[in-house]
Amino acid sequence: MPELPEVETTRRGIEPHILGHEIQGLIVRQDRLRWPVPPRLENRLRGQRILRVERRAKYLLLQTGTGTLLIHLGMSGSLRVLPPGTPPGPHDHIDLVFQHCCLRLRDPRRFGAVLWTSEAVAGHALLRHLGPEPLGQEFNGEWLYRLARRRHGPVKNFIMDGKVVVGVGNIYASESLFHAGIHPHRPCNRISLNRYHRLVEEIRRVLISAIRQGGTSLRDFQREDGRPGYFAQELQVYGRERQPCPRCGQPIRQRRIGQRSSYFCSHCQR
DNA sequence: AAATTCTCCTGAAGGC
DNA sequence: TGCCTTCAGGAGAATT
């Protein structure tokens, strides 16, 4: 499921194909995504050039001269760059058509979104209240420690909260906490500043490493050229219940924390 | 205010 | 073989 590394992998993959190119058309086969695709969106897009291909949190932002197309991959979405006219398969809901290629959104579960704003994109309702980027400067141990003072929920939920830090989803939350040696269920206000420094370091390390591997493909995710990401083979705990902990050999445990499956080693993580 | 629950959706997996 | 139930999950919205 697309988390920050998958979205960044996608951004880097599509950018060279579409940057500076003119949008010829938009084909919407299914407009019922998480929110309805805006009606008559093609009229706004046709003739516009892609001026920037950016990412904020898990949103892809395709900036044109008149506004920005926001794309979210939800949990099963992927974007591919295909030759124009390639016949669509199941769940290929939307094509952004260029002269030389077609950018195609496939999203079996339709939790993704395609939206438009003609205002400054940072002020959009979906982006306005987001926390810092995990790979940016203002995300650090002090930030986490300070926010955690007035909370008490499990640290895993804490770092998956987009107001605390963006882009850390279920897979990378479990992985980062394992590397930091912190139990996912530990109350976030019972963690020292030093351990938060370490956690920030591990979140960054895991995300950067996953980006380098092209993300994690468990089921639906594929890169813009159809290849999978290869970080799944680096996963230490996610999806590995009952298998031996890579560090101490005791069985990895699975437990639901905040409605999400969480994986951890109860010996190595405290 | 923070925490919890609900909601959208499809496909895989398990039970009988 | 086939039909049913259950589960997975991003994250905003609604509720407690």
What are the residue ranges of CATH 1.10.8.50 in chain A?
141-264
Tokens of A98: 């260029």
What are the residue ranges of CATH 3.20.190.10 in chain A?
4-123
Please tell me whether any atom of strand C lies within 7 Å of the Cβ of A233: no
Q: In the structure, how far is the CA atom of residue A246 from the C1' atom of nucleotide B10, in angstroms?
A: 34
Per-residue pLDDT reduced to its tens digit, A36-52:
999 999 999 999 999 99
Confidence of residue A106 (pLDDT cuts 50, 70, 90): very high
Q: In the structure, how far is the CA atom of residue A74 from the C1' atom of nucleotide B2, in angstroms?
A: 25
Specify the fold of A141-264: Helicase, Ruva Protein; domain 3 (1.10.8)
CATH for A4-123 is 3.20.190.10
Question: Got the DSSP string for A101-125?
Answer: -EEEEE-TT---EEEEESS-GGGSH
Per-residue pLDDT reduced to its tens digit, A170-196:
999 999 999 999 999 999 999 999 999
CB A188 within 8 A of CB A152: yes
- pLDDT beyond 90 at A57: yes
Closest nucleotide to residue A108 (Cα to C1')? B10
- pLDDT beyond 90 at A1: no
Please tell me whether any atom of strand C lies within 7 Å of the Cβ of A180: no
Phi-psi region of A165 (alpha: psi -120 to 50; beta: other; left: phi over 0): beta
CA–CA separation, A9 and A213 (whole Å): 9
Beta carbons within 8 Å of A80's beta carbon, 6+ residues apart:
A103, A104, A106, A222, A223, A224, A225, A226
Closest nucleotide to residue A1 (Cα to C1')? C9
- pLDDT beyond 90 at A233: no
* Higher pLDDT among residues A228 and A68, named by residue: A68
Confidence of residue A151 (pLDDT cuts 50, 70, 90): very high
Confidence of residue A217 (pLDDT cuts 50, 70, 90): confident
Q: In the structure, how far is the CA atom of residue A218 from the C1' atom of nucleotide B14, in angstroms?
A: 20
Q: In the structure, how far is the CA atom of residue A241 from the C1' atom of nucleotide B15, in angstroms?
A: 22
Residue A230 has a pLDDT of 85
Residue A55 has a pLDDT of 96
Confidence of residue A56 (pLDDT cuts 50, 70, 90): very high
Active site residue A256: no
Confidence of residue A270 (pLDDT cuts 50, 70, 90): very high
Beta carbons within 8 Å of A68's beta carbon, 6+ residues apart:
A61, A62, A116, A117, A121
Of the ranges A39-43, A100-104, A258-262, which one carries the lowest mean pLDDT score? Answer: A258-262
- pLDDT beyond 90 at A264: yes
Please tell me whether any atom of strand B lies within 7 Å of the Cβ of A153: yes
Q: What is the pTM of this model?
A: 0.95
Active site residue A2: yes
CB A132 within 8 A of CB A165: yes
φ, ψ of residue A71 to 5 degrees: the values are -125, 125
- pLDDT beyond 90 at A24: yes
Give percent above pLDDT 90 in chain A: 89
- pLDDT beyond 90 at A259: no
- pLDDT beyond 80 at A79: yes
Of the ranges A114-118, A176-180, A199-203, A251-255, which one carries the lowest mean pLDDT score? Answer: A251-255
CA–CA separation, A70 and A189 (whole Å): 35
